[in-house]
Amino acid sequence: MTKKDLIMPAFRLALLTTTLTLLALVSNSNAGKYNSTLSIGDDAPVWVSLPGVDGKDHSRSDLKSAKAIVVVFTCNSCPYAVDVEDRLIALNEKYREQKVALVAINVNKVEDDLLPAMKEKAKEKGFPFEYLFDETQQIARDFGAKRTPEFFVLDQNRKVVYMGALDDSPEGRKISKRYVEDALDATLAGKAIEASETIPVGCAVRFERTRRTRRARQK
């Protein structure tokens, strides 16, 4: 075997590895640092006619007058989601007069997270914001949400300007950084957001698995 015979396979392997790496980078070029679907500055996904705990259907277009929107993917059953409930109420109260809309969306389909249970939770806690259910789970996939709770801040042009955690304390006991509030303050003031993306901490969204259908055997 000649030296050329040894070099060529190695060269081809290196070329293949480089190509695969570049393809991976290209495929993820539109994704954020911690979000595999959206990037900061992207147009926010649109939700249409999602049923709410108030018995009405809600769409993003209903919030045209909002100067900013906070979308939080949450649920009833996750301890992390339960821990932010009071903070969600406080957040809504703090920014309501500044025309900031808070929209909570649940896509989990276990019994404790279905719409009847959501209505009970909203009544028990006195949620003053929209709490919506998407049985298709598509809106969570569109946002790239994988945790409950997971937050997204949309500006007046409905661009994604922040995504990640509510603050730096999942249980809410020792909060030193309020990421969503900082993002809202900067957005409403027309300033740049210092921390536009953080790691969401919570339970995994319970996406339904897509079952593969077996092809019929050819006789």
Kindly state the average pLDDT of the residues 47-69.
Answer: 98
Nearest to residue 129, comparing CAs of 179, 63, 193, 174?
63
pLDDT band at 143 (very low <50, low <70, confident <90, very high): very high
What is the number of other CB atoms lying within 10 angstroms of the CB of residue 61?
9
Provide the H-helix boundaries in 64-168: 79-83, 85-95, 115-125, 138-143
> Percentages helix, strand, coil for the chain, rounded to the nearest 5?
35, 20, 45
Question: Which three-class secondary structure string do you get for 133-163?
Answer: ECCCCHHHHHHCCCEECEEEEECCCCEEEEE
SS3 (DSSP) at 194:
coil
pLDDT tens digits along 150-170: 999 999 999 999 999 999 999
CA–CA dist 200, 191 (Å, integer): 23
Asked whether the predicted pLDDT for residue 34 surpasses 80, the reply is yes
pLDDT tens digits along 65-74: 999 999 999 9
Indicate the CATH number for domain 37-204. 3.40.30.10
- Sorted by where each begins, the domain ranges of the chain are 37-204
Residue 72: beta bridge partners? 104, 151
pLDDT tens digits along 84-100: 999 999 999 999 999 99
The answer to pTM > 0.85 is: no
Q: Which residues contact 53 (CB under 8 A, 6 or more apart)?
A: 115, 118, 119, 121, 122, 123, 127, 131, 132
